[in-house]
Amino acid sequence: MDDTAIAQAVEILAAMRRREAAPDELPESCRPQTVADGYRIQAALNEHHASGDAGPVAGHKIGCTSRVMQEYLKIDEPCSGAMHAANIVEAFSERPHAIFHTPGVECEIAVRLGRDLPPSGAPFDRAAVADAVEACMPSIEIVDDRWSDFQGVSTPSMIADDFFNWGSAIGAPIANWRNLDMEAMEGVMFVNGEEVGRGHGRDVLGHPFEVLTWLANSLASRGRGLRAGEVVTTGSLVKTAWCEPGDEVRIAIEGLGETGITFTA
């Protein structure tokens, strides 16, 4: 893709974030044809948002790491997006439902990095990325379906739009995660007090750190790295739940605790 097409795509995707549009796909003139093109647009979109109220990129989300989400989205490989500082919110925060197109929630294990994982260190393995993890946390990824019908949108276009991400509600950090069985820990999600799904750490590529390994190597292939202090959410243990005004969401992950988000009317 040339710079003109990338700029056109960024303009459309930025308008979607402002709730000025909900297209069913990017137009052919700026539609990414490959995953690599999708990430090129995403990088330009992240630069655009970093210069505004969203603030700098402060973390990353990874989608389609569990069978339940791969089957739901009909995508059989992980995809990543960026999270901006303003949209990584505290546990049990409130956000107006009206700032979203169609908000959804997912139950995830998140990590915070204690040191950099630069592209020069690739290829990474699970031991290498685990050594860089400072803390683990429960996380509700807050997604936003900004498309008129996401089922008709190509994977590269979804990637260009940060793969649905809006941000995350992050719980308290657990520094002694090495004492926890990350594969066996169970996560449960509730909406208005009713259970809507549950899963285990092993459901995301066998182990959350396998997901982190995938991200570190994927970024390295694009000449980028992970930085100390960044938060990474490792993919939903449950199917996405779409939320209405007034919905209260809570997740509980064994060994990590709880977090929540309320979509005020």
Strand pairing class (103-113; 231-236): antiparallel
Residues 6+ apart with CB under 8 A from 56: 50, 84, 85
Strand pairing class (248-253; 186-191): antiparallel
Domains and CATH numbers, the chain: 3-264 (3.90.850.10)
pLDDT score recorded for residue 200: 98
Q: How many CB atoms lie within 10 A of CB 244?
A: 12
pLDDT tens, residue order, the chain (265 aa)? 999 999 999 999 999 999 998 999 999 999 999 999 999 999 999 999 999 999 999 999 999 999 999 999 999 999 999 999 999 999 999 999 999 999 999 999 999 999 999 999 999 999 999 999 999 999 999 999 999 999 999 999 999 999 999 999 999 999 999 999 999 999 999 999 999 999 999 999 999 999 999 999 999 999 999 999 999 999 999 999 999 999 999 999 999 999 999 999 9
Tell me the C-alpha distance between 17 and 12, whole Å.
9
pTM for the complete prediction? 0.96
